[in-house]
Every structure is written in C-alpha cells, then in structure tokens.
Amino acid sequence: MQEKPISLRKRLFYTRSVTDASRTRAVLNNAILHLHPTTIPVPALRFTYTWGLGGISTVLAFLLGFTGLLLMFRYDANVGSAYHSIQLLEAQVVFGALIRAVHHWSANLLVVISFLHLVRVFATGGYKRGRTMNWLVGVVLFVIILAFNFTGYLLPWDQLAYWAITVSTSLLSYIPLIGDLLRNFFLGGADVGQSTLRNFYAIHVALLPVLLVGAVSYHFWKIRKNGGISQPERQNGSAAERLTTIPNLVQREFAVGAIVIVVVLLFSMFTPAPLAGIADPVHSPNPAKAAWYFMGLQELLLHMDALAAIGVVGIVLLAMFSIPYLDRRGSDIGIYFRSKKGKIAALVGALLALDLVPLLVIADQFWVDVSTWVPGASPGLTNALIPFSLTILGLLLIYGLIRLFVQANHSESMVGIFIFVIIGLVVLTVIGVYFRGPNMALVLPF
Ligand code: HEM
C-alpha cells in the first residue's frame, strides 16, 4: 500500500518542533554539564552514600525561593499590618494558605536535611583531599540557613514570633564586648519593634538570598572542580568505572526532586503553618521558648550562665570550622566512619550522649548545686567558669576514653566525639521542646 504524502504544513510543524525540542534539550544538557562532570564514577551514584541530602537541600532552597517570592506580593512588614496581611493571605488569596505552609515546612525541613547532609559529609570524610574550603563554605551555608529561619520567624508578628525573637536576641547581649552593639544593630533599638521587623525583613528577603546564592554557587563549582563528590581510595590504584552523567545521575536527581516536592506539598495541604494570636508585648507566654532549632542552646542556658553557654557554643562552632585541619588523614576518605573502629567509636559516642546528657540534665535540675561546692564563691565562678570548664573537660575526657578503650586513632576518635556532640545537641533540643513546661520546669510531654 502506498504511503500518504505528508502535507507541507505538517512537515514544517514537525521539523520545527523537532528542532525546538532538540535545542531545548541541548540547552538543558549544557546547563546540567556546567553543574556536573560529563561522567561520574559508579560508586558516586550509590544512593546510600549521599542519601541525596545535598540534592534535597537544593530542591528545598528552590521551593523556598519560589514560595517566598509569592508571599512577598502580599506580606506587609509593618507591625500594624503584618499579622493581618498573613491572615488576609490565608483567607482571601487562592492557595495563599498552601503557599505559606509550603514555605514554612520547607524552611524547617531544610534545617533538618542540611544538618543531616553536614553529618553525612563528616561521616564519609567528605572534607578531605582538597575539599577543606567546601566544608568551610558548607558550615557558613548552615549558619545562613539558620539565619533565614530565625529572621523569617518574626515576620508573622504573632505571639510565637514576638517572644521567640525576644528570648533569642536577649542572648546576644551576653557576647563579650560587642554583644550590646550587635543586639542594638539587629533590633534597631532596645526592644523588638517596628525597626526589628524592618531589619529582619530586609535581611530575610535581600541580604541572605544574595549570600545563599553566592555560597551555593561556590559550593557546586567546587564539587565540580574536585571531579565530583568524595570516593574511597582504590587499593590497586585503578580508576573506578565511570558512567555518563546524563541520564544516569540526572534521572535520579529528578526522581528525588519530584518526590520531595510531592511530599512537601501533601504535608502542607494537611498541616497549615502555625499562626498564634497577634503579638502582645505586654503578656509573655509561659514558657517563652526560642524556635526549636535554638532550643538546644536555650536548654544549655538553664544549666549555666549565658556567657558560659555562648562560650560552649562558640567552641563547638570553632571546632566545626577546624575539622579539616584537625583531621588530615586522607586515606580513609569516602568510608563511612573511617573504619570498623571508627564505627565502634561512633556507637560509643551516640550511646554516651543518649545516656549521659539526660542524666546530667536531671542531676543538675534536682540534685547538684555547684554553689555548695565552693561556699561564698561568686556566681561568675559557680555558674559560669565551673560549668564551662566541666563541659569542655568532659568532652576531652570522652575523646581520651575512646582513644584508650576503643584503641581508635585520632581520626576515628574524632568521629566518636563528633557523634557525641551531634546526638547531645539533638537530645538537648528534644528535652527543650518536649520536656519543658511552665517556668521551663521539667515535665513529661504525655
Ligand atoms: C543549602 C545548603 C546546601 C546545599 C544545597 C548543598 C548541596 C550539596 C550537593 C548537591 C552536594 C553533592 C551531593 C551530596 O553530597 O548530596 C554537596 C556536597 C558537599 N557538601 Fe553540601 N550543600 C549544602 C550545605 C552543606 C553543609 C551545611 C555542609 C557542611 C558543613 C556541606 C558540605 C559539603 C561538602 C564538603 C561536599 C562534598 C562532599 C563529598 O565530596 O563527599 N554542604 N552539597
């Protein structure tokens, strides 16, 4: 049977759409290959190596940028109208409540996911072999994410926002020398008010996005420059088998991205973003808690003077930045927890944190009173210097014990102490969020 000739109109349309499609594909491929190398080693594709955490952080950052932009059309950064602009957005704008919920939950999820990404990178020694700078930028990225959440927290101008920011910013004053200056700079005055809202809004929608885009761009460029993510070194020196990035990696990234978006959307459809009553500077809720990601710090403050707590946090932050310099052994890169002994050290660190931290919290609450140890001593000694020194000594002791009893090397022992600090922080956060009631007394959550 003779084939029907294709009309000129159809031929033109067909050729045009084919060229358009291939052009779009070429542009897309080109963009992807600016981010990724053209081929990647097969082990780097293993999902259980990265758990897709960096990719999920990227998707969440995009979701936040998009929904944040939409929110800006309705939000009014004025103490007299901020709260009502949120109410109107939720009540009158089509999908307004959903957009706000997606923004809210993605922001909270990004804190969790980027934290887990940080832990994964540490666990596989992803800061070794030329990746020091990317680790440092990563820690800065995490601080930027916290700052985004913190400044965004105030914007709804409800009771939760007002008092959480009042509690958190009061801590700034305890930073030696520059504390008051910093507090006045952020608050724009002595108390949380119109200037604070304006400052936080400007930082949230202008300053932080610029910093985030700059830091993430460097982060991606450096991964590309390092020839992709970290890999275990091969015994015989041979190179790992490589596959093309398109479609092998890109397909997986798109699948993970699609799943993240669906999960966040579904969750946000059924769980609205919280909005308490309008901010009331006269009546403080009891307990007045900081945002959940600062509850670890707030919990610490219940056990020592603010200066000592800030000192502990400062040292932990400094140690985070110094990790690539403290652990220079490159041969264990790409191996979860470095070795078998490293895994044992991690387990010891985790178990110690799970037992010791709640025990110390309970002991300090009910039994221990440091001021009776040194009668007549100043509160500076009993509330600040002694608890601070004991905390730092305790951490060094755990490191020493792991070295001694697990017979771990320096790199493996660092895994133990890192996991102790990470799990300890999680435990303090859980206690602060769920086990603190009126007047911040210890209570059972059920
Ligand atoms: C907005 C936040 C972040 C985004 C979007 C992001 C994105 C990514 C992506 C996509 C990767 C490669 C694949 C993967 O590991 O999943 C990666 C790797 C890496 N990230 Fe991040 N990241 C973020 C935050 C952080 C943080 C908080 C740290 C740690 C302090 C960090 C340190 C690193 C390092 C050192 C690598 C290379 C790891 C290796 O070679 O194994 N990143 N990041």
What tokens does 391 get? 């905390």
Q: Is residue 223 within 6 Å of ligand 1 at its C-beta?
A: yes
Domain of 147, CATH number, reads 1.20.810.10
Query: Could you tell me which of 401, 183, 427, 203 has the C-alpha nearest to residue 306?
Result: 183
Among the residue ranges 36-40, 256-260, 298-302, 309-313, the one predicted with the least confidence is 36-40
4 in a structural domain: no
Same domain, 388 and 309: yes
- Please tell me the distance between residue 373's alpha carbon and the centre of ligand 1 in angstroms: 46
- Are residue 258 and residue 376 in the same domain, yes or no? no
Average pLDDT value for residue range 165-189: 87
What's the confidence (pLDDT) of residue 13?
Answer: 58
Domain that holds residue 313: 286-446
19 occurs within a structural domain: no
Checking if the pLDDT of 19 tops 80, the result is no
**Contact by Cβ (8 Å): 431, 366:** no
Query: Can you tell me the distance from the alpha carbon of 135 to that of 152, in angstroms, rounded to the nearest whole number?
Result: 26
Q: Take residue 240 and report the two structure tokens written for it.
A: 């790992």
The answer to which of 18-27, 345-354, 393-402 has the lowest mean pLDDT is: 18-27
User: Is 292 found in the same domain as 152?
Assistant: no
276 in the same domain as 139 = yes
> Which pLDDT tens digit goes with each residue over 49-63?
999 999 999 999 999
Same domain for 256 and 340: no
Kindly state the tokens that stand for 387. 């608890």
Q: Which of 251, 284, 317 is where one domain is finished?
A: 284
Please indicate, yes or no, if residue 7 is contained in any of the structural domains.
no
For residues 438 and 407, state if they share a domain.
Answer: yes
List the residue whose alpha carbon is closest to atom 13 of ligand 1.
Answer: 54
Residue with tokens 């397909």: 251
The alpha carbon of 231 and the centre of ligand 1 are apart by a number of angstroms equal to 14
Contact 231 CB / ligand 1 (< 6 Å): no
pLDDT of residue 18: 59
Whether 26 maps to a domain, the answer reads no
Q: Is residue 14 part of a domain?
A: no
Burial of 117 (0-12, 13-18, 19+ CB in 10 A): buried
For residue 202, being part of any structural domain is answered with yes
- Asked which of 237, 264, 284 is the last residue of a domain, the reply is 284
- Check: CB of residue 297 under 8 Å from CB of residue 309: yes
What pLDDT does residue 2 have? 61
- How many domains does the chain fold into? 2
The pLDDT value given to residue 438: 94
Confirm or reject: Cβ of 131 under 6 Å from ligand 1: yes
Residue written as token pair 């919990």: 299
Q: What is the pLDDT of residue 128?
A: 96
My answer on whether 236 and 298 are in the same domain is no
Both 422 and 337 in one domain: the answer is: yes
| CB 106 less than 6 A from any atom of ligand 1 | no
User: Residue 168 domain-assigned?
Assistant: yes
Q: Which long-range contacts (CB under 8 A, 24 or more apart) does 188-193 make?
A: 191/166, 191/281, 192/154, 192/162, 192/165, 192/166, 192/281, 193/79
CA of 229 to the centre of ligand 1 (A): 9
| Portion of the chain with pLDDT greater than 70, in percent | 96
**Mean pLDDT value across residues 391-398:** 96
Average pLDDT over residues 364-371: 86
Q: How far is CA 152 from CA 42, 60, 155, 164, 196, in A?
A: 40, 16, 5, 12, 12
Residues 86-105, mean pLDDT to the nearest whole number: 97
pLDDT in tens, 250-305: 999 999 999 999 999 999 999 999 999 999 999 999 898 989 999 999 999 999 99
Same domain, 205 and 232: yes
Q: Which of 39-48, 72-81, 141-150, 199-208 has the lowest mean pLDDT?
A: 39-48
The per-residue pLDDT for 9 is 63
Q: Compute the mean pLDDT over every residue in the chain, rounded to the nearest whole number.
A: 92
In this structure, the answer to whether residues 125 and 270 fall within a common structural domain is: yes
> Minimum mean pLDDT among 191-195, 238-242, 407-411, 428-432: which range?
238-242
242 shares a domain with 94: yes
Atom 31 of ligand 1, residue of closest alpha carbon: 138
**Is residue 258 located within the same domain as residue 306?**
no
Q: Tell me what the mean pLDDT of segment 389-415 comes to.
A: 96
Phi, psi of 289 (to 5 degrees): -105, 150
> pLDDT of 127-143, one tens digit each?
999 999 999 999 999 99
Take atom 8 of ligand 1 and give the residue whose Cα is closest.
54
CA–centroid distance, residue 54 to ligand 1 (Å) = 5
The full 3-state SS of the chain, as one line of letters, equals: CCCCCCCHHHHHHHHHHHHHHHHHHHHHHHHHHHHCCCEEEHHHHCHHHHCCHHHHHHHHHHHHHHHHHHHHCCCCCCCCCHHHHHHHHHHHCCCHHHHHHHHHHHHHHHHHHHHHHHHHHHHCCCCCCCCHHHHHHHHHHHHHHHHHHHHHHHCCCEHHHHHHHHHHHHHHCCCCCCHHHHHHHHHCCCCCCHHHHHHHHHHHHHHHHHHHHHHHHHHHHHHHHCCCCCCCCCCCCCCCCEEEHHHHHHHHHHHHHHHHHHHHHHHHHHCCCCCCCECCCCCCCCCCCCCHHHHHHHHHHCCCCHHHHHHHHHHHHHHHHHHHHHCCCCCCCCCCCCCHHHHHHHHHHHHHHHHHHHHHHHHHHHCCCHHHCCCCCCHHHHHHHHHHHHHHHHHHHHHHHHHHHCCCCHHHHHHHHHHHHHHHHHHHHHHHHHCECHHHCECCCC
pTM given for the model: 0.92
Q: Is 349 contained in some domain?
A: yes
pLDDT in the model for residue 177: 84
Average pLDDT over residues 410-424: 97
The pLDDT of residue 179: 86
- What is the predicted pLDDT for the residue at 420? 98
Q: Which of 269, 284, 299 is the last residue of a domain?
A: 284
